[in-house]
Chains A and B, each alone.
Chain A
Amino acid sequence: MKLREYEAKNVLREAGIPVPAGFLIRSADELTPHLGALGTAFVLKAQVDVGGRGKAGGILMAGKADGTKVAKELFGKLIKGLPVKEVLAEQKLDIQHEYYLSIMVDRSSKQPLILFTEAGGVEIEITAREHPELIKKVVANPLMKDLPPFMIRELIGKAPKEIGPVINRLYKIFIEKDALLAEINPLVTTPNGVFAADAKIIVDDNALGRQGITMNRDLSEREREAEKHGFSYVELDGAIGVIGNGAGLTMATLDLIEYYGGKAANFLDVGGGAESERVMNAVRLVASVPSVKVIVVNLLGGITKCDEVAKGIIAAGISQKVIVRLAGTNEAEGRKLLSEKGYEMLDTMDLVVKKAVQVTA
């Protein structure tokens, strides 16, 4: 789950990384008591869970005189379709130089990878493409609690030495907060020292519990409902509902729908070993989306038993058409149950998907 900017900055502040003085407000009126502390010019930043908010108009400059008016304007906006409910009012920094600092989980080395460049700021991806040599990379050993000084020296090169402690503190945050990504862009130098002007922290969904995060905001309401049942669920914008077991097989089913020219409405991965009640819940959840005209069930029984799946489909009793492909453990029993009730069954995933696409065409 991605932390909002003000949450990420609180984490940084607690770890001793300087961040600009700032206040979170939930309405334009809440700005008034902070006007004195913010100085003559400050920044209002919409706290929305979406990337590229600056270019979408989510960051506005303001001053003591027009602050409340600008805040009202920002609270009235939609940023990439999302309403602005929280705004971070933040001191404007006197920026001398912008750096980029990031720590991520590196699939390739299986270790934390630290990136640093003196060419930071909004154009960082262009720098990465055109001048990759400007980005310094160091792989850390996850068994070490601190970065050894030589790694920090390698990273910062000729950049100011005061950046060194920031790198080590961000590394500790990365480890202790179960981050998949901890990024400061830009990390800026000012006459008053180094500051993290913006920050992004993504917490591992598998560690939300031990990080004391009770609700995953990145999920929609129906996705959270699905999560309670232990399903992975994603909503799309077509007419075919998809139920599979295992992420790979479910994804391959979706790809096949696209291959045959159809569009999926949603997909749900029931996971392994699903019993009839779980399957029933899965079918009902997928069918509860109004745009779903037909449901493809593609299950390969390993530890999942086909007769349990069949019972679940029948018990769901939904109005939409269900097209089933079942293979594996207890396949014959499952097929018998479904054919008695008149469900359409086909032998391969190609056939069920083709049929579903025809039905919705």
Chain B
Amino acid sequence: MIYGDRKTGILVQGATGKQGEFHIGLMNAYAQQVGGRGVVAGVTPGKGGQQVHGVPVFNTVKDAMKEHDIGAAVIFVPAGAAADAIMEEANAGIRTIVCITEHIPVQDTMKAIAYARMEGASVIGPNCPGLLSPGEVKMGIMPAGLFSHGNVGVISRSGTLTYEVVDELTRAGIGQSTVVGIGGDPVIGQTFVDVLERFENDPQTKAVVLIGEVGGNLEEEGAKSTDLPIVSYIAGVSAPPDKRMGHAGAIVEGGEGDARSKIARLKKHGVPVASRVSEIPDMVRELFRCHC
């Protein structure tokens, strides 16, 4: 596993909100199932002293850290407060921060991620479903029932499409080591390159499914950065041409950042790219045949 395991104590920021409360319940149900610690503390300013599903709530992250051994945080606060939550957690010394919140202005995200980097923290997201290592830990909102334990890592920019891929893999008898949703925003903390580096150092992970989308070139950067065998799928082949980012996008990203040119660049680099999600399991099996 990467980012955390059964022993990781999780803090939830935005614990008393509707989403926070709902997902503390689900994360701790999963922790109970696998014998993990799960969510040990919640934070909502002004709600210190309350409990959510038996989890104590604190006013600040530092207050929670004083009383609990915390290794990771999951953020459910509204968009206007999310960048602040990332920085509070990084400042308090949490090293893995998962930000589920969507619609955060990108200027806020850039600042929060730059600050987290200074503090030595890794941010997953924002606008992501979090991560799940089957049999170990769930940090976020992924539906645990679809997952199975194994040695294929999954990295994805999207949410439900990830579940679709995981569902296909599980039905085909291919288990997962860790599934990470890195988020769909233009600026995200952990990119394909960062997660692939973790997978390289993870003895459990033998191959990786990389699920990308139209826009940017982070998928290609990731594929170039690793020796792990990869199967990729890129969504958005039929998407209408994006509103172009002036000339700067074309200058920096080379070409139009569209799905077809992205797929061509991945294939040129020797990465097999599935045309349909349902092709992924067979292509993963093919990888194992080549590399075993």
The answer on a CB contact under 8 Å between A257 and B238 is: yes
Let me know if B206 is at the binding interface, CB within 8 A. no
Let me know if A255 is at the binding interface, CB within 8 A. yes
Interface size grouping (class) on chain B = 35 or more
The answer on a CB contact under 8 Å between B246 and A349 is: no
How far apart sit A300 and B113, CA to CA, in the bound complex (Å)? 31
The answer on a CB contact under 8 Å between A143 and B240 is: no
- A105-B106, A247-B184 given; A255·B159 CB < 8 A: no
The answer on a CB contact under 8 Å between B158 and A246 is: yes
The answer on a CB contact under 8 Å between B246 and A204 is: no
CB contacts (< 8 Å) of B96 on chain A: these are none
CB contacts (< 8 Å) of A103 on chain B: these are 248
The smallest C-beta distance from B90 to any residue of chain A, in angstroms, reads: 13
The answer on a CB contact under 8 Å between B246 and A248 is: no
The smallest C-beta distance from B91 to any residue of chain A, in angstroms, reads: 13
Which residue of B104, B107, B146, B239 has the most chain A CB atoms within 10 A of its CB atom? B107
The A-contacting residues of B in range 1-59, CB under 8 angstroms, are 22
The smallest C-beta distance from A289 to any residue of chain B, in angstroms, reads: 15
CB contacts (< 8 Å) of A181 on chain B: these are 245-246, 248-249
- Taking a contact as CB atoms closer than 8 A, the residue among B145, B238, B275 that contacts A254 in the complex is B238
The answer on a CB contact under 8 Å between A107 and B218 is: yes
The answer on a CB contact under 8 Å between B104 and A206 is: yes
User: A-facing mask of B240-278, CB < 8 A → 1, else 0?
Assistant: 100111111111110000010000000000000001111
The answer on a CB contact under 8 Å between A125 and B105 is: no
Among listed A53-61, A84-92, A111-119, interface-contacting one: A111-119
Which residue of B111, B164, B216 has the most chain A CB atoms within 10 A of its CB atom? B164
Let me know if A329 is at the binding interface, CB within 8 A. yes
- Taking a contact as CB atoms closer than 8 A, the residue among A128, A234, A248 that contacts B158 in the complex is A248
The answer on a CB contact under 8 Å between B107 and A207 is: yes
How far apart sit A234 and B214, CA to CA, in the bound complex (Å)? 15
What residue of chain A has the Cβ atom nearest to residue B218's Cβ? Answer: A107
What residue of chain B has the Cβ atom nearest to residue A254's Cβ? Answer: B238
The smallest C-beta distance from A92 to any residue of chain B, in angstroms, reads: 23
The answer on a CB contact under 8 Å between A350 and B278 is: yes
What residue of chain A has the Cβ atom nearest to residue B181's Cβ? Answer: A248
CB contacts (< 8 Å) of A252 on chain B: these are 161, 164, 233, 235, 277
The answer on a CB contact under 8 Å between A204 and B239 is: no
CB contacts (< 8 Å) of B69 on chain A: these are none
How far apart sit A53 and B159, CA to CA, in the bound complex (Å)? 38
The smallest C-beta distance from B114 to any residue of chain A, in angstroms, reads: 5
What residue of chain A has the Cβ atom nearest to residue B80's Cβ? Answer: A210
CB contacts (< 8 Å) of B167 on chain A: these are 300, 327
Let me know if B162 is at the binding interface, CB within 8 A. yes
The answer on a CB contact under 8 Å between A300 and B247 is: no
CB contacts (< 8 Å) of B218 on chain A: these are 107-108
Let me know if B237 is at the binding interface, CB within 8 A. yes
- A105-B186, A350-B276, A350-B278 given; A125·B251 CB < 8 A: yes
- A249-B158, A302-B142 given; A111·B110 CB < 8 A: yes
Let me know if A307 is at the binding interface, CB within 8 A. no
Let me know if A264 is at the binding interface, CB within 8 A. yes
The answer on a CB contact under 8 Å between A204 and B160 is: no
The answer on a CB contact under 8 Å between B252 and A248 is: no
What residue of chain B has the Cβ atom nearest to residue A348's Cβ? Answer: B278
- A107-B216, A143-B115, A245-B160 given; A258·B237 CB < 8 A: yes
What residue of chain A has the Cβ atom nearest to residue B167's Cβ? Answer: A327
CB contacts (< 8 Å) of B248 on chain A: these are 102-104, 113, 115, 181, 183
The A-contacting residues of B in range 203-223, CB under 8 angstroms, are 211, 213-218, 221
CB contacts (< 8 Å) of B236 on chain A: these are 251, 255
What residue of chain A has the Cβ atom nearest to residue B221's Cβ? Answer: A108
- A104-B248, A255-B237 given; A175·B277 CB < 8 A: no
The B-contacting residues of A in range 290-318, CB under 8 angstroms, are 300-303
CB contacts (< 8 Å) of B79 on chain A: these are 206
How far apart sit A218 and B244, CA to CA, in the bound complex (Å)? 12
CB contacts (< 8 Å) of B187 on chain A: these are 105, 107, 110
The smallest C-beta distance from B108 to any residue of chain A, in angstroms, reads: 8
Residue pairs across A and B with Cβ atoms less than 8 A apart, 28 shown, are A100-B247, A104-B248, A104-B249, A105-B110, A107-B186, A107-B253, A110-B189, A115-B248, A115-B252, A142-B107, A142-B110, A200-B246, A206-B79, A252-B161, A252-B233, A255-B238, A255-B259, A255-B276, A256-B276, A258-B238, A259-B275, A302-B141, A303-B141, A327-B167, A329-B143, A349-B277, A349-B278, A350-B276
Query: Which residues does B use to contact A, with CB under 8 Å?
Result: 22, 79, 103-107, 110-111, 113-115, 129, 141-143, 145-146, 156-164, 167, 184, 186-189, 211, 213-218, 221, 233, 235-240, 243-253, 259, 275-278
Which 6 pairs from chain A and chain B are nearest by CB? A248-B158, A248-B161, A246-B160, A207-B105, A302-B143, A142-B110
Query: Which residues does A use to contact B, with CB under 8 Å?
Result: 2, 51, 100, 102-108, 110-113, 115, 124-125, 128, 132, 135, 137, 141-143, 175, 178, 180-181, 183, 185, 200, 202, 204, 206-207, 210, 218, 234, 236, 244-249, 251-252, 254-259, 264, 272, 300-303, 327-329, 348-350
Q: A102-B246, A142-B114, A247-B184 are in contact. List 15 more A-B contacts (CB 8 A).
A: A105-B186, A107-B216, A110-B189, A143-B115, A175-B107, A181-B245, A206-B106, A207-B105, A247-B158, A248-B160, A251-B213, A255-B235, A255-B259, A272-B141, A327-B167
